[in-house]
Amino acid sequence: MLDQVFALTYLPIGRKAQVIKVGTEGLIRNRLLDLGFVPSAIVEAIRKSPAGDPIAYRIRGAVIALRSEESRQIQVRVVD
């Protein structure tokens, strides 16, 4: 999984990754960028809801919950 680019939704809980690209357009893209999901930012998957969606992520000191359709649009690479 190291050096492999994949969707944020597949990041295992407790792992960190670097944002590579936000692959959507319009208002959703602007919202994700405003929340801190910008290229080179480090994001950590910290918790899944009991139903599995949404997933909480820590990014730039904030905890943000994203639904899977949003997190599928963010491309990441695992970091140590």
pLDDT in tens, 29-38: 999 999 999 9
**Number of domains present in the structure of the chain:** 1
Please name the residues in contact with 59: beta carbons below 8 A apart, sequence gap of 6 or more.
35, 36, 37, 41, 42, 43, 44
Higher pLDDT, 1 or 43: 43
Rounded Cα–Cα distance for residues 2 and 50 (Å): 28
Q: What's 19's domain CATH number?
A: 2.30.30.90
Range of the domain at 36: 5-79
Give the model confidence (pLDDT) of 58-76 as tens digits: 999 999 999 999 999 999 9
